[in-house]
Chains A and B, each alone.
Chain A
Amino acid sequence: MSQKGLSTQSGAEGSARARYETVIGLEVHAQMLTRSKIFCGCSTRFGAEANTQICPICAAFPGVLPVLNREAVQMAIKTGLAIDGQVRLLSEFARKNYFYPDLPAGYQISQYELPIVEQGALWIDSPERGEGVRIGITRIHMEVDAGKSLHEGIYGASWVDLNRTGTPLMEIVSEPDLRSSGEAGEYLKKLRAIVRYLGVCDGNMEEGSFRCDANVSVRLHGDSVFGTRCELKNLNSIRNVMRAIDYEVERQIELLEEGGKVVQETRLWNADLNSSRPMRGKEDAHDYRYFPEPDLPPLRLTAERVAALREAMPELPDAKAARFGQQYQLSRYDAGVLTSSRELADYFEAVAAHAASLGHGNAKMAANWVTGELAARLNRDGVEIGQSPLQPWQLGKLVALIQQGTLSGKLAKEVFEIMCQEGGDPQQIAEQRGMRQVSDEGAIDVAIARVLASYPDDVAQYRAGKGKVMGFLVGQVMKATQGKANPALVNQRLLAKLAE
């Protein structure tokens, strides 16, 4: 298949594809941001030298025992509450048994029959199905991460690094409710925003602290049963998740259209080749021999403990976006963008608050600056809002200066650039460089008179009913004032003069 390549969508193929419905379920493994590992006291710090963050418990020496990290439980509960899940007051750990060099005990401690959270959901805006589509979350369970096998640059052997062993994970399993790669992307963005809001996971897919496996199948529209699914692995960005799903959907439809059958298998995505290949065959299908972990008593929570955590929950993306819509009169889209991370939302609110404190608040304008100029700048420099070159008060003051008419949009962009490079107070920058917007009617009228005199033909055209010319004339007036004139005033005075 990969050698042959996939045919592009066209004609008959395209209509064949339209007859199929895509069904996707996602399994996300989120590393929890606990200070220590889930069953021992070792640090969870990332990037240390191999096998320096381990103890006899990590290495599964004879006779050692796991003790559950309370912080990991708190984080799992919080995540469960954030997705409106049911937090089980009685949950249980189990052993998943298999041999692998980077799995020192020969079993992974996980939750199987009784996970800590069941029956949650989150809501996404689907590119195809519209706003507010509910995606069910079957369960969240806690488990332990394995170590890493190292093969690169080693000849005739493999090395094992156990630093990651014991890092607490949450596995968040969705229902097969997603219907497109676009929905899968939205789901992951929303879920990642939630875990970041809660501070339970850094959501970094490239570093593997937020990992996603996708179960993908297709069926003819109207079919009541799901098609045979394949599990896609090695998806280290949201973009790769979406690309791998698209590839898989094409592959399965092509297979079915050729009269073939989809074989249930695990497929490894190769981002460089933009294709996937089967990872393991049926012959080594695992029997994990799950059974309750006898070294850990069942996990019992009190309703009070869960209630206390519920009380302490931060405002989450959906609630914040709804509030932004109401409080700041923002569009659903803007509110969604601004609440995609807690830091960005906080930044925006600080900008808006500072502008308002100066008596010239305009939240919509603040939002435009944050999602427009600033976002572009951050994007260009490849940094997050936390590394913004501007403090919220600087941008807030800039917004106030525009709102009160001191700076035009054009001037404000120049001030913005200067602030980004040199820092400083926008008002001082504008004053020192004489970038004050001209709102003096007399000065503007002088400029208008000069322009009207210079372009008699255009004036005649305007007066003959060619309204378009107005834009040209405004531009000339602005040019004549080195862009400092208040554009609204220029418009107003120019119309008056032309009407004379």
Chain B
Amino acid sequence: MDLASITLKQAADLLRQRTVSAVELTQFFLDRIVTHNPELNAFITVDAEGALTAARQADARLAAGQGGPLTGIPLAVKDLFCTKGVRTTCASRMLANFTPPYESTVTRRLQEAGMVMLGKTNMDEFAMGSSNETSYFGPVRNPWDRSRTPGGSSGGSAAAVAAGLCVAALGTDTGGSIRQPASMTGITGLKPTYGRVSRFGMIAFASSLDQAGPMTRTVEDAALLLQAMAGHDPLDATSIDQPVEDYGSLLAQDKGPQERMRGLRIGIPQEYYTDGMAAAVRKSLEEAIRVFQDLGAVCQPVALPCTDYAIPTYYIIAPAEASSNLARYDGIRFGYRCEQPADLADMFARSRSEGFGAEVKRRIMLGTYVLSSGYYDAFYRKAQKVRRLIADDFQAAFTQVDLLLTPTAPETAFRIGEKNADPVKMYLSDIFTINVNLAGLPALSVPCGWDAQNLPIGLQLIGRPLQEGTLLSAGHAFQQVTAWHTRRAYE
């Protein structure tokens, strides 16, 4: 068996059967990282020693018959989850030497489940970007075409999964940052309902939008990972205090894809068919619709009239929150501090000017502006109202259908540098994903085709709040009858 393309489920079976040890599996991926990372730049930090220690502990648990489905599985972690004792940079010069004294809830839960953290993956600086080009540590290259971006902001995690540098990865999604790179690298990515997964220890970009989720090779793998991540956290006041479905057994049930899909109503938002949607993307989406129909789902058009307002609304709310969230980087207690500050104001101004990159500064400026006295009502308050209307659109649609089906991104992976000159063009890359965050809904991206340039295309399924199970079940059904998710970007 080719370990590089192994799924989490397969790896768990091999580990449990002792066909392979966690140390062997870990060493295998560490070796692949050494070989391929210099070119892909998917990892910012590799913690070989910590990974092997965790792997040895996992082997001991497995040998004692105590392991769970995640014990011994090598994982890549987006570099904005605080990891105790392991440098956490957020891909920023500001935190290039920051080592957190505490562990994020998500990584703690996964460690307790026995996962092995290989290292921290590259990303857009502070998760602000759609191409992974804003990283202080340089762009990540798409394993399908190294002249192209893997999308962003979780580009390092996406590339690591797609290139077989890990079994699974953690991403975060504020406006599409799990789903868009998953789509552009041909993998599976899930953004859970806002509040389903704890944000404690996840470095904040936009607090009311950020959500962590799994990035994997299959929907089944995403379910296994989400199972351990999800659940109420007393350390996060916005986390939802409701029981977590048993996703694993939901998918393990001996159900055929028809049984899963029969009678399920799927809505196709008409507003998404814009000029911006590439022809190949449109074609793949239409094929996917037919697949779901063949499985017995009922597909019907639905209206989301406020769709056009999603991008402007998002680019008011997210930068507003970011401008405040990033105020703590002042050079005083941690992070970058400028040399020889003349006085306090100089220390604040220069530490931040030198420590943040251009896109981060752009968004801080935007956010500061929209919250300023005299502009608050015109921008921030109005955006909050529109956000409500966008959520209402979805709620109305979900009275008619159980799921929504859309492309994940309007086009396939673009070239590095292609959209750098025009931030608005870059922002449009998230046009199909961003309103899901504004409404706080769960959404899943799975591969559904390849274009003529051999670049992957993803479809997005959007569900009702806390209906991750329905999403996973439908996504799994799709993967039961398609093979797109088994395509590999490497030999």
Contact = CB atoms under 8 A, between A and B. Distances in A.
B87 interface: no
A160 interface: yes
A56 B234 contact: no
Nearest to B381: A291
Contacts of A291: 320-321, 324, 371, 376, 380
B320 A65 contact: no
A68 interface: yes
B327 A97 contact: yes
Contacts of A158: 344
B328 A60 contact: yes
Interface string B410-432: 00000000000000000000000
Contact of B235 (A67, A160, A294): A67
Interface stretch (A13-21, A98-106, A198-206): A98-106
A105 B237 contact: no
Contacts of B206: 294
A297 B199 CA distance: 14
Given A62-B88, A64-B200, A105 B327 contact: yes
Contacts of B90: 62
A63 B202 contact: yes
B373 A287 contact: yes
Given A104-B328, A291-B324, A61 B334 contact: yes
Contacts of B95: 62
B88 A97 contact: no
A41 to B, nearest CB: 10
A95 B322 CA distance: 12
Contacts of A61: 82, 100-102, 328, 333-334
Interface residues of A, number: 29
A187 interface: no
A295 B333 CA distance: 22
B223 interface: no
Nearest to B81: A63
Nearest to A105: B328
A288 B10 CA distance: 54
B328 A62 contact: yes
Contact of B100 (A60, A63, A295): A63
Contacts of B348: 99
Contacts of A106: 324, 326-328, 330
Nearest to A287: B373
A419 B437 CA distance: 74
Given A97-B327, A99-B348, A289-B324, A63 B380 contact: no
Given A287-B373, A295-B238, A63 B82 contact: yes
Interface in A40-59: 56, 59
Contacts of B131: none
Contacts of A99: 327, 330, 348
Contact of B208 (A95, A290, A294): A294
A104 B327 CA distance: 9
A158 B343 CA distance: 10
B201 interface: yes
Contacts of A95: 324
B100 A289 contact: no
B368 interface: yes
Contacts, number: 105
Interface in A278-308: 287, 289-291, 294-297
Contacts of A97: 323-324, 327, 371
B374 to A, nearest CB: 9
B328 A68 contact: no
Given A63-B100, A63-B200, A295 B327 contact: no
Interface residues of B, number: 45
Nearest to A39: B237
B238 A64 contact: no
B182 to A, nearest CB: 23
A66 interface: yes
A156 to B, nearest CB: 11
A104 B330 CA distance: 8
B27 interface: no
B236 interface: yes
Contact of B201 (A63, A289, A296, A297): A63
B227 interface: no
Interface string B172-213: 000000000000000000000000000111111011100000
Nearest to B367: A289
A63 B333 contact: no
A324 interface: no
Contact of A101 (B235, B236, B326, B332): B332
Interface string B128-157: 000000000000000000000000000000
Contacts of B467: none
Contacts of A64: 102, 200-201
A66 B201 CA distance: 11
B98 interface: yes
B101 A56 contact: yes
A107 interface: yes
A107 B98 contact: no
B276 to A, nearest CB: 29
A113 B412 CA distance: 45
A67 B330 contact: no
B102 A56 contact: yes
Contacts of B258: none
Given A56-B101, A160-B332, A289-B368, A62 B237 contact: no
B327 A297 contact: no
B53 interface: no
Contacts of B98: 62
B66 interface: no
Nearest to B195: A297
A107 B201 CA distance: 19
A67 B105 CA distance: 14
A331 B90 CA distance: 69
B13 to A, nearest CB: 34
B104 interface: yes
Interface in A83-139: 95, 97, 99, 101, 104-107
Given A101-B344, A291-B320, A291-B371, A107 B236 contact: no
A287 B82 CA distance: 32
Listed from nearest, the 3 A-B pairs whose CB atoms lie closest are A106-B327, A294-B207, A289-B371
27 contacts: A59-B333, A61-B82, A61-B100, A61-B101, A62-B95, A62-B100, A62-B334, A63-B80, A63-B81, A63-B200, A63-B204, A64-B200, A65-B199, A65-B238, A97-B327, A104-B332, A105-B328, A106-B327, A160-B332, A287-B373, A289-B371, A289-B373, A291-B320, A291-B376, A291-B380, A295-B237, A296-B237
Given A61-B333, A63-B204, A97-B324, 5 more contacts: A56-B101, A62-B82, A99-B327, A101-B344, A107-B324
Interface of B: 80-82, 88, 90, 95, 98, 100-102, 104, 199-204, 206-208, 234-238, 320-321, 323-324, 326-330, 332-334, 344, 348, 368, 371-373, 376, 380
